[in-house]
């Protein structure tokens, strides 16, 4: 990934934030079958190792866990806020007419080593964690206990756990940091007025 210095994000806590807020990762892998990518919601365990680990599960029918056995090197891509930026949103454009369109975005590449967990206890604990986190905003959060135990047992047998021990995190946050402050802030205000509050907030915090 090409990363100009002014767009580089190296703070682990900032990269973990993007992963937590946008947990649907694209797991990129290479096997004898060639390049492949799986789109999987991950749970971040920030306390594991020096960079954290990513926990997830796949359908047993998905051959990923067989094509990429324990020890396989993979990359998981997390995309955060993103937005098209029109040069018309830059006040300086109307003075110099020397601006062009661009696209702002936040992205994290998590490189690591994959471990397969074909283990009912692992997937039960993981599903419970994922459920608690993503059901937390519901008026009456769903929990596994709401379903018949036999049904849950069957569902759990049909999935396989995976874990990616993160060995490196590469982050890029392109938020108009290379523009004048008035241009960046006015573009952020325009995005906010159009409903893209996530990117607007990120651009306002950028330096």
- pLDDT at residue 97 in the model: 74
Question: Quick check: 77 and 84 in contact, CB under 8 A?
Answer: no
* pLDDT tens sequence across 106-144: 999 999 999 999 999 999 999 999 999 999 999 999 999
Q: Is 169 exposed, middle or buried (0-12, 13-18, 19+ CB in 10 A)?
A: buried
**Which two tokens mark 108?**
């994290």
Q: Where are the domains of the chain?
A: 5-83+102-178
Distance CA 55, CA 40 (A): 10
Closest-CA residue to 26 (of 49, 42, 8) = 42
User: What CATH class is the domain 5-83+102-178?
Assistant: mainly beta
Average pLDDT for 48-67? 95
Distance CA 50, CA 101 (A): 39
Q: Is the pLDDT of residue 207 over 90?
A: no
Distance CA 137, CA 169 (A): 29
User: What is the band of 5 on the pLDDT scale with cuts at 50, 70, 90?
Assistant: very high
Residue carrying structure tokens 């905003």: 137
Q: Is the pLDDT of residue 99 over 80?
A: yes
- pLDDT at residue 84 in the model: 98
């Amino acid at each position: 990934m090409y990363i100009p210095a002014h767009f580089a994000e190296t703070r682990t806590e900032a990269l973990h934030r993007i992963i937590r807020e946008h947990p649907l990762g694209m797991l990129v892998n290479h096997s004898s079958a060639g390049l492949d990518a799986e789109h999987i919601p991950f749970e971040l365990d920030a306390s594991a190792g020096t960079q954290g680990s990513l926990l997830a599960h796949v359908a047993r029918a998905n051959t990923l866990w067989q094509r990429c056995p324990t020890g396989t090197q993979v990359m998981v891509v997390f995309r955060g806020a993103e937005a098209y930026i029109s040069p018309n949103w830059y006040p300086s454009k109307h003075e110099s007419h020397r601006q062009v369109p661009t696209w702002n975005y936040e992205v994290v590449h998590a490189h690591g080593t994959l471990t397969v967990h074909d283990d009912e206890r692992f997937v039960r604990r993981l599903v419970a964690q994922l459920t608690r986190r993503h059901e937390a905003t519901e008026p009456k959060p769903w929990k596994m206990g709401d379903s018949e135990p036999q049904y849950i047992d069957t569902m759990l047998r049909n999935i396989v756990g995976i874990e990616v021990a993160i060995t490196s995190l590469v982050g890029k946050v392109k938020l108009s940091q290379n523009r004048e402050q008035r241009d960046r802030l006015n573009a952020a205000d325009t995005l906010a007025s159009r409903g893209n509050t996530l990117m607007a907030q990120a651009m306002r915090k950028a330096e």
